[in-house]
Amino acid sequence: MVIVMVYNISYDLHNPGQKYKKLHELIVEVSNNRWAHILNSTYVIQSYKNANEIYNYLSNAIDENDLIFICEITKNMQGVLKNEHWPYISNLF
């Protein structure tokens, strides 16, 4: 049985430029197009991969001086986001 999980991906790119576009493309791919770009450098995605596999997939778009954090999230969340983000995030679960 394949388990689908929901993850938070946060990052700081030292020199964004083209790497930002490449990272976005890879995030869309690894999420099977089930994602929300909720803050400037934060995505919430759904994926069949684990956090380590997601990191390995995205590592093609980051340099050694870039920062990235990937963690599994649950329905237990709260925050202030744009109104259109909440329904999409809820639908990821």
pLDDT digits 0-9 by tens, 23-80: 999 999 999 899 999 998 999 999 999 999 999 999 988 888 899 999 999 988 888 9
Q: Do the beta carbons of residue 84 and residue 65 sit within 8 Å?
A: no
Q: Under CATH, what is the fold of the domain 5-91?
A: Alpha-Beta Plaits (3.30.70)
Between CA 32 and CA 46 the distance in angstroms is 8
Give the type of residue at 21.
K
Q: Where are the domains of the chain?
A: 5-91
User: Cα angle at 34 between 6 and 7, to 5 degrees?
Assistant: 20
pTM for this model (two decimals): 0.88
55 versus 84: the higher-pLDDT residue is 55
